[in-house]
Structure 1
Amino acid sequence: MAIGDSYPVDGCQDYYYLDTGMYDTERYGAVYIVDSERPAVIDTGIGTNYEFILEAMDGIGIAPEDLEIIAPTHVHLDHAGGAGYLAAECPNAEVYVHEIGAPHLVDPSRLIAGTKAAVEDQWEYYDEPKPVPEDRIVELSDGDTIDLGNRSLEVYHAPGHAPHQVIYYDPDAAAVATGDAAGIWVPQLETVRQTSPPANFDLEACLDDVETIRSLDPDTLLFGHFGPAPASDDLLDTYREVLSEWVAAVEEKRTELGDDEAVIEHFVETTEMAEVWGERKARAEERLNTRGVLGYLDAQS
């Protein structure tokens, strides 16, 4: 699979996924297209390469004016940065987003500032997000349902990764669009890795989100990073272990070194993901996730 390519999701009729080439990295950022009676796009990437989404839609047979639903799982810009661009190109689409995140898509100034602080020099990969007109926002809360015509998306609040995150469950497809609630699926390694960015990462809430997914008993998980994977209790258990062990490792290293920057550099220098994502992205990922855990540990003290 190459950047810009899209494929059907095995076992999920009318679902397709696209590699957006996020951070110039293959198999890192995914967007999902649902060819339903009311066509939908789940997550939107960072804005850069949003044209790939339009091209994939065209290949499926969805014209821009036919798209009705743009549904980011949360407003972090790697998931919602393309929402304004798609809304501008798709005049009949509404943007569905959790009520906490909705104001940040209408006025993304604080979102931009927060993202720059979080991703540091990775900001160069982003296109500055376009505001979404307020009258095209549909605010979501836990328990809502998005009507896709011949199917639906059930909305579940999943605030561990971010307070504005939701997951979407399609009972007809038995699939959950996880956002970042189940971690990062690495298809090259067939395993999951942690995601714990600043400033709202909360371990206990993340573990609760895993249990929310488990309770839905899906057949397929649609990861924002990256791609579909068969769902199983083993996979969810693995993520619980990965996340808990990751937080424990950062806490132990902080106790050992006594200096947060040294802790960050330790994990940056010892990353095992350079051969998968490339050295720059792998190191940036470790830095981001370590900083998020350190912030969480500060909040617990």
Structure 2
Amino acid sequence: MTTPTHAPLPEHTRHLGDGLYLVDTGFHRPAFDAAYLIVDSGRAAFIDTGTRFSVPRLLEALAATGLGVDAVDWVIPTHVHLDHAGGVGTLMQHLPQAQVLVHARGARHMVDPSALYQGALAVYGAEEMARSYGTLDAVPAERVQSSHDGQVIRVGQRELTLIDAPGHAKHHHAIWDARSRTWFTGDTFGISYRELDVDGQPWIFPTTTPVQFEPEALARSIGRMLAADPLWVCPTHYGRLGNVAALGARQLKLLAAVVELGERLRAAPDRHQALRDGLRQLYLADLADMGRVMEPAEFDRWMALDLELNAQGMGAWLDRPAR
């Protein structure tokens, strides 16, 4: 049984059916960064939060379902990157009954987010941090739980299963809702921007952003999710996607091409720029294979930041000592 909507949904919130809601967090641009709200039998959970500036949207979405803040049992960041978890501490101040459920490798950063903040500050600078992320609020240690592979939790009468899902980040888990056959994938299953859809079909690409890209682990994590025969995946960037088997196959094929590109350019002069250019060519070719031919300048309008960060992540991967 799911709780029906009791009020018109805010414009930034969409009901996906069966008690699942997508909330556009407003980070960077519309349809870029999502949080998800699960409602069942009068109880609720948030998966990912966006930044602290997203919290009013999350609370509006919750209120529109007819539930109060004391109905939320869980806040579950898929990983602790700030576009996914920057708002966790702020949101928790409004949710008296909730616990944070975070990957064991990320739990300490919820209790003391100073290292997260300083790391992001070094990358983005003070002006961008103030504009896009704001400050980070700590969560009391007694309200933080570490997840483990195969853990099962309840939201009302609904069971959610968490799995360790590294490849994009070591502190990443994914959440399986068996009732709707949906994976909430964070960044592990890839990124799909709606502006790059091809005749209504999503294009998806693997994110290799700094600093923990591990292609073999990423392929295994995607394989585990595909093995559940999901109807849907819900990546944070962006939205609910169907035809999951085909998406996964395309993702794995493109991931293999990314690895080949990195190995080929490992010792290239001006390697970073070569990786950027090579990724652009790979992505454009993959889009063309789906039937959408784009000029590089148009493509860069949406993908310039991803190209830069993905090239950085590939460089960190290539420089990592072999084990």
Tell me if both proteins adopt one fold, taking TM over 0.5 as the criterion: yes
Which of 174, 179, 182 is the aligned partner of 1:172?
179
Cα RMSD of the aligned pairs, angstroms, is 2.4
User: Once the 2 structures are TM-superposed, how far is the Cα of residue 242 of structure 1 from its aligned partner?
Assistant: 1.9
- 2:229 is equivalent to residue 249 of structure 1: no
Separation in 1, partners of 2:212, 2:262 = 17
Contact residue 24 and residue 35 of structure 2 kept, 8 A: yes
- Which residue is 1:194 aligned to? 206
Contact residue 175 and residue 184 of structure 2 kept, 8 A: yes
User: Once the 2 structures are TM-superposed, how far is the Cα of residue 115 of structure 1 from its aligned partner?
Assistant: 2.7
Alignment of 1:272-283 (within 5 A): 275=298, 279=301, 282-283=303-304
- Which residue is 2:244 aligned to? 232
Contact residue 118 and residue 198 of structure 1 kept, 8 A: no
Give deviations 1:216-245, integer Å, cap 9, x for gaps: 111110111100011422110111122222
Contact residue 266 and residue 318 of structure 2 kept, 8 A: no
Secondary structure, counterpart of 1:217 in structure 2: coil
Aligned residue type for 1:178: T
Contact residue 118 and residue 197 of structure 1 kept, 8 A: no
- Superposition TM-score, scaled by structure 2 size: 0.83
Separation in 2, partners of 1:246, 1:122 = 29
User: Once the 2 structures are TM-superposed, how far is the Cα of residue 251 of structure 1 from its aligned partner?
Assistant: 4.2
Q: Structure 1 pair 115/264, CA: closer, same or farther in 2 (3 Å)?
A: farther
Secondary structure, counterpart of 2:211 in structure 1: coil
- 2:247 is equivalent to residue 259 of structure 1: no
Separation in 2, partners of 1:214, 1:197 = 22
Q: Taking every aligned residue pair, what percent have the same amino acid on both sides? A: 30
Aligned residue type for 2:304: R
Which of 25, 28, 32 is the aligned partner of 1:28?
32
- Superposition TM-score, scaled by structure 1 size: 0.89
Give deviations 1:235-259, integer Å, cap 9, x for gaps: 1011112222233334434544x12
Separation in 1, partners of 2:134, 2:253 = 35
Aligned residue type for 2:140: P
- Which residue is 2:82 aligned to? 77
- Which residue is 2:313 aligned to? 292
- Which residue is 1:40 aligned to? 45
User: Once the 2 structures are TM-superposed, how far is the Cα of residue 264 of structure 1 from its aligned partner?
Assistant: 5.8
Task: Pick the structure with greater CA Rg.
Answer: 2
Runs of 5+ consecutive residues of structure 2 not aligned to the other structure: 1-9, 285-295
- Which residue is 1:140 aligned to? 147
Separation in 2, partners of 1:267, 1:130 = 39
- Which residue is 2:293 aligned to? none
Runs of 5+ consecutive residues of structure 1 not aligned to the other structure: none
Q: Structure 1 pair 68/285, CA: closer, same or farther in 2 (3 Å)?
A: same
Separation in 2, partners of 1:210, 1:118 = 28
Contact residue 272 and residue 311 of structure 2 kept, 8 A: no
Contact residue 185 and residue 225 of structure 1 kept, 8 A: yes
Q: Structure 1 pair 252/87, CA: closer, same or farther in 2 (3 Å)?
A: same
Aligned residue type for 1:135: E
Give deviations 1:53-101, integer Å, cap 9, x for gaps: 1111111222222222111111111111111011001111111111111
Contact residue 272 and residue 315 of structure 2 kept, 8 A: no
